[in-house]
Structure 1
Amino acid sequence: MSMKSISLSTLVLRESLPLGRFVVDIDNPADDFHDSKFLTANISEYNTTVRSQDISSDLSQILSSIRGKHKYLSRPPDNTEKLYHRRYRLENPAIVLENICGDKHTRGWLEDALRTELEIYMIVGLETVGIPDPLKDRTSPEQIRTLELAYRVQYHRLDFSWFSIRKLEAAVLQKNQWLPKRTIRVVDEPKDSEFEKAVSVTLASALFEDDEDSDTGVGNYDLQPVSSAIL
């Protein structure tokens, strides 16, 4: 499956954009969203992959492209040795989607969003830059804190489908399949039919190619799986 990458118009703190979040506005993922209560447990189980590069000279092109989106980047940071660039990827987005859809509140949010939104997306990747925190403790200059800002987000679009099911078969539905609050009867079925419409949610494929390997001047990365506990 390919990912859809969007460069944000405003830089966002990385910790405020968890992987696995559902959003309806891909340009503003921190505005209208839903985070399942099962999100943390499932992201921890199905780890992410992080690529990190700490050589500041390789970040000039990235910083140049996002300068002006954050007031602190209007001028070069004083301490460039603490700069870094990272890419986060959710390794098993389809499995995470299936598990977090077991949350009834998540199902309710999806049903409500489907009534007003044409498309819903899940965050499956982030690209960030780390810069010295301008609000760091001035009394302890040796303790340099880093502010990690997301400037690009990768998404998978959610694909919804409907299928007929008998009431007695509802117990065999997967976590990403359920009978919505407002059931829809199968066309041409009599009113007293036991068949109802169940909804199934999966990840859409082939949106368009991810630009992960595009020429961003960051070179090769060391690839390592990490637990979301450190993200």
Structure 2
Amino acid sequence: MSPSILLSQFFLPLSAVSLGRFVISLDNPHQDFHDPLRHSGHEVTEKVQTQYDSVHHSVKHQNVASQLTTFLSSSFSRRLKASVRISAEQAKTYYLKNAGEWFRDAIQSKETQKWIERTIDEGEDIYMIVAYHTLLNARITEQLGGRSAASGNLVIPVSTALTASGVVVPFTNVADPGFGGFHGRVEDEQRRFIAPGEQMCAVQYRKVRWRWFASNKVDAMTLAKKAWWERYDRPRYLESETEDMIEVELEDEIALEGDCDECTIESGEVFVSAA
């Protein structure tokens, strides 16, 4: 099973990402993407966990959802160099059922084939979204202690991080229904925010692997077992033995650059924070 990667911008609304989407960035699945045409017969599976919190006294009693928020809180704290706690009413996972079949159907589209070729020519890797994880009414508590300038601690406030990620954070009682819609209040030595509604926090991908090959060097039986098409950008004057075909398939292994934290939860799913 491929790992689920925490979003670098912490949260995204459900409208920003769709299952089966082809993307070039693991951190920004809502940018520079291609959505294949929808196919009937492909279903989405939902798994729900309710009433959980990122703070527990006993690791033994942490369920899948609480383990996720604990890891999310740790990642958030590390990125901002501050003490951050995240809790929520519910966690939900959306899976694309039979992702392999979805992929084979999607690449029958000429528009999708051309997008893949163009992206390969530009030197980009390609990934397909096969699942994503959400939190319902997530609460974010930021500990404000130790923030004086004299202490020499330079930290980024949660509000600044949320704003930098494209989310407007109004300190009012009215939630912004646009990109995330956070509102918050200050109380004692803590600053609290709420992300109303269902917000996406992590995405699971499979990588699209590809290769060029010459059709006259492969037998028909081998071709029948692969997902392939005749490349669109091949000059017609080239000889027949040149690499005139492209073969694509999905693989689970994804290489992440730089340092990253990894968490394996009770269900066997792996979450990774690459920031």
Question: TM over 0.5, yes or no?
Answer: yes
Taking structure 1 as the reference length, the TM-score comes to: 0.65
Distance 2:5 2:235 in 1: 35
Counterparts of residues 172-187 of structure 1 (less than 5 Å): 176-183=227-234
Q: Which has the larger radius of gyration?
A: 2
Unpaired runs of at least 5, structure 2: 54-64, 140-173, 178-194, 256-260, 269-275
- Tell me: CA distance 1:150–1:65, structure 2 relative to 1, closer, same or farther (3 Å): farther
Q: Which has the bigger relative contact order, CA under 8 A and spacing at least 6?
A: 1
* Structure 2 counterparts to residues 79-228 of structure 1, below 5 A: 83-131=89-137, 135=175, 147-165=197-215, 176-183=227-234, 192-193=239-240, 197-207=244-254, 214-215=264-265
Q: Which residue of 1 aligns with 2:17?
A: 17
Aligned residues: 188
Extract unaligned runs of 5+ from structure 1.
138-144, 221-231
Residues of 1 paired with 2:108 and 2:136: CA distance?
A: 35
Cα deviation, 1:114-133, whole Å, max 9, x if unaligned, reads: 01134110011111101179
Identity %: 27
How far 1:214 moved relative to its partner?
2.1
Scaled by the length of structure 2, what TM-score is found?
0.56
Could you tell me how far 1:205 is from its partner in structure 2?
Answer: 3.9
Q: SS at 1:55's partner residue?
A: strand
The DSSP-based 3-state class of the residue aligned with 1:29 is coil
1:6 corresponds in structure 2 to 5
CA distance in 2, matches of 1:214, 1:117: 32
Q: CA deviation at 1:6?
A: 1.5
* 8 Å Cα contact 1:129-1:150 kept in structure 2: yes
User: What is the CA RMSD across the aligned residues, in angstroms?
Assistant: 3.9
8 Å CA contact 1:99–1:175 kept in 2: the answer is no
